[in-house]
Amino acid sequence: MPNKNRTKIFAIIVIILVIIAFIYYFFMISKEAVFPSSITQSQEVTEIVPTYMEELMKEKQKDETISIPEPEPLPVGVDRFIVSLNATNEIISANLLELNYIKDADSFTKLLTKSNKEGLINPGAYKISHDMTDSQLIRVMQGPAYMKWIKIPEGLRKEEIAELLAKSLGWSAKQKENWIKIDKATKPEYQEGVYFPETYLIPVDEEPSAVAKRLIAKFNEKFSIYLPQFTAKNIKWTTALTLASIVQREASNNADTPLISGILWNRLNQDMQLGVDATLQYIRGDKGQGWWAPITVADKKTASLYNTYINKGLPPHPISNPGVSAIEAVLNPTKTDCLYYLHGKDRITHCAVTYEEHKINIEKYLK
């Protein structure tokens, strides 16, 4: 083969090799861009895996923090435990220890104080059991009481007592209305005056009618003591109770009840009008300023059997629910010649025998 031809062939082979070299070079660069080396892949996996595991652990810890374990089921409470109105943590612990519900009063007191932000358990009655632990006992007594203490002050009318009971026991408007009207149709004498003012421990789920019977039963218990004495003086129990209800509203305090009673008895015995504001307040009711707001000149002209400025004698029935002091005052009034009285700005009751003396007292103690 001529040299010239061999030179051409050699040049072609070199060119081909150069092209193959270039192709291989560009292929390797492209491969590195798309598929990193094994070392780089290993490093990246090593970095990604721990990061992923850390996130999983954080989520797990977050879930464990949020989830609150359910409290252990409480043993059934079968015994009534009463927390009195003035009970301290120490008294509660001492009572529980005496009844063998706890083993150590001091440690229970500390636990009770620590677990109760306000420092005291709400007064009332709770259902507990000897099977309860100290913590469970506290849990029960930090919950709602199944019986509540309710104090009914002296001299309230039935509507006011209904408002107090409804608020404390969670009555509906319908239940409150029914309570006000209970026994009214069959026992007129039980319409007012027999819902005795006292501090009661009442189940929160007790029917309103049962609550009424509870208050009436307390009245019968307290009033029955005085019945023989009223009978001996020829005073009907309804008359005594009605006058006591007026005395209760007219007296500034319990110490004044015998004097007010003596003056009102004098008016009745002399066939005078009683002329007391409380009876007008009762028939007027609550017009937006309260049940016992001061009366007006117009009120004194009201045509009603309760208007003791116009009518002589007592109104048809009691105007409030009196306490023991007013009942005893009607039975044992202060002996006095006074026919008039007023409550001065000095908060003292001043009486007078004549109306002229009464007018002087008005100028002296009210102006």
Res. 292: pLDDT tops 90 = yes
Per-residue pLDDT band at 28 (split at 50, 70, 90): low
What is the rounded average pLDDT for all residues in the chain? 86
For 228-267, give the DSSP string: HHHHHTT--HHHHHHHHHHHHHH-SSGGGHHHHHHHHHHH
d(CA 25, CA 34): 15
H or E element at residue 81 = strand 79-83
Residue listed under structure tokens 């007006």: 296
For residues 204-226, average pLDDT: 95
Residue 84 pLDDT > 50? yes
Give pLDDT tens digits for 302-341.
Answer: 999 999 999 999 999 999 999 999 999 999 999 999 999 9
Percent of the chain clearing pLDDT 90 (strictly above): 69
Asked whether the beta carbons of 247 and 329 are under 8 A apart, the reply is yes
Q: Is 40 exposed, middle or buried (0-12, 13-18, 19+ CB in 10 A)?
A: exposed
Give tens-digit pLDDT for 161-184. Answer: 999 999 999 999 999 999 998 766
Please state the φ and ψ torsions of residue 173, each to the nearest 5 degrees.
-60, -35
Contact 182, 212 (CB under 8 A): yes
Give the model confidence (pLDDT) of 130-149 as tens digits.
Answer: 999 999 999 999 999 999 99
What's residue 55's pLDDT? Answer: 60
pLDDT attached to residue 51: 55
Quote the pLDDT of residue 217.
Answer: 95
- pLDDT single digits (tens) 104-133: 999 999 998 887 665 578 899 999 999 999
Per residue in 48-81, pLDDT (tens digit) is: 445 555 665 565 555 554 444 556 677 788 899 9
Q: How far apart are CA 214 and CA 204, in angstroms?
A: 13
Amino acid identity, residue 75?
P
- Sequence-ordered alpha helix ranges (H) in the chain: 3-34, 38-66, 89-98, 105-115, 134-141, 158-169, 173-181, 208-223, 227-232, 237-250, 257-269, 277-284, 324-331, 355-365
Predicted TM-score (pTM) of the model is 0.77
What integer pLDDT is reported at residue 73 of this predicted model?
A: 77
Q: CA 168, CA 171: separation in Å to the nearest integer? A: 8
What would the mean pLDDT of 253-275 be, rounded to a whole number? 96
pLDDT at 331: 97
